[in-house]
Chains A and B, each alone.
Chain A
Amino acid sequence: MPAKPSIAPRDWASQPPYLYPGYKSTVKRGPTRPLVPLTSALAQRNAPVYGHDDIGPLDHDLTRNAARNGAPLGERIVVTGRVLDEDGQPAAHTLVEIWQANAAGRYVHKADQHNAPLDPNFLGAGRCLTDQDGRYRFLTVKPGAYPWQNHPNGWRPNHIHFSLFGQHFASRLVTQMYFSGDPLLALDPIYLSAPERARERLLSRLNLDVVGEAGFALGFEFDIVLRGPHQTPAEA
């Protein structure tokens, strides 16, 4: 079997550091020693295998996939976008997993003790596969902001967590999607940990035209760029 093209390196100028004192938990949890190079020839492991049959018919619809006796409270939103590599090529049929707080800023997770109500009709988890153009689409409600203990009266901006693999084990990405114009962004050390040149990648944009459900849900567009194929010196 011919070797698959290897993957471009992580662009450290676009990625946050392991140790970022503004986000206090990094100080005891981030690796401190330099990473050991792994030759690209050995970085060709493919992403895990899964198929359409693994994805349930409501997995992409967080307004319905945990509904018990009604609809979740909150502003309905569509979140859609394309998963691309650095060359702009779509990542087709790739898994996108998301999780988020409810409209009141409360997570279902048992460890979340924030004094805001749970929503009996909302879990906050979803997933889908991108289509052949790399496009994904979720229907959900806008997550609320919530307090955290990192610094006095700290509040996380509204965000949705994303988890992706792309085509390679090495293109794994776990990130968060924010909303353009959120005043909490300028105060959030997690958002600010991303190098300034790359922060805009973390912001979704209001786009009323992407929804296809006028009068039903607000539309937000969020494209995701994964590591691309390695370029040979001749192409570079």
Chain B
Amino acid sequence: MKLIQTPSQTVGPYFAYGLTSEQYGYDFRSLFGPVLAEPQAAGEHIRLSGRVFDGDGVPVPDAMLEIRQADAEGRFVASRAEALASGFRGFGRCGTGTHPSLHYWFDTVKPGAAAPGEAPCIDLIVTMRGMLLHAFTRVYFDDEREANARDPVLGAVPAERRATLVARREAQPGGVSYRFDIRMQGAKETVFFDL
């Protein structure tokens, strides 16, 4: 006999001092933050950033995002010791409430493909006040057209909605960044997965 799963409940508006404390300036050490890759981590260093928009197209000031990704070679971090040795921890967390224009950001490396036939991608969780449970989505890269065309997950998404999953590369003075906005609703609603 299976036990019933604990239902999700909203993260609410007041998560910051518990889950993203250092980012928001609270005196409580953070286990996770927006930096996944220290300078010595191997691979192309990138910043992934964007905003989260509600059904009125208004940027959400109290969303929390978490990402999980492979390293530049396509490997997932298997242990804390490995993360400390490589400078790449593979997981990050960021709220949208501290940037003046309500961006989230992650400083990381561009992932390699995790398996043959898959395109490089980043798994992403978004949650916020007003969501009773979090949503899963994925970030692909617009300079990986060939790999994206073969990727089985992207291929299962209706063609007209695939663009909502593709981050746009922008060369900035400080380095390479990818822009990935999330739209919770509307004509360009981001694809969310039943994961």
Contacts and interface: CB of A to CB of B under 8 A. Distances in A.
A228 B123 contact: no
A202 B18 contact: no
Interface string B62-85: 100010100000001111101100
A99 interface: yes
Interface size class of B (residues with CB under 8 A): 35 or more
A230 to B, nearest CB: 12
B143 interface: no
B157 A28 contact: no
Contacts of B123: 45, 169
A11 B5 contact: yes
Given A23-B130, A27-B55, A31-B189, A49 B8 contact: no
Contacts of B17: 99, 107-109, 123-125
Contact of B11 (A9, A46, A174, A198): A174
B35 to A, nearest CB: 13
A193 interface: yes
Give the size category of A's interface with B: 35 or more
B18 A125 contact: yes
A180 interface: no
Contacts of B16: 109-110
Contacts of B128: 29
Contacts of A18: 131-133, 135
Interface in B57-113: 60, 62, 66, 68, 76-80, 82-83, 89-91, 97
Nearest to B138: A38
A132 B78 CA distance: 19
Nearest to B60: A29
Interface in B1-48: 2-19, 21, 24, 26-29, 31-32
A45 B125 CA distance: 13
Contacts of B28: 65-66, 123, 125
B4 A31 contact: no
Could you tell me the dominant secondary structure of chain A's interface residues? loop
A97 B107 CA distance: 24
Contacts of A20: 132
Contact of B76 (A26, A46, A225): A46
Interface stretch (A50-58, A69-77, A134-142, A207-215): A50-58
A127 B153 contact: no
A198 B8 contact: no
Given A32-B189, A95-B31, A48 B9 contact: no
A125 B54 contact: no
Interface in A78-107: 84-88, 95, 97-99, 101, 107
A218 interface: no
A17 interface: yes
Given A11-B5, A29-B185, A45-B76, 4 more contacts: A16-B9, A27-B55, A49-B83, A225-B4
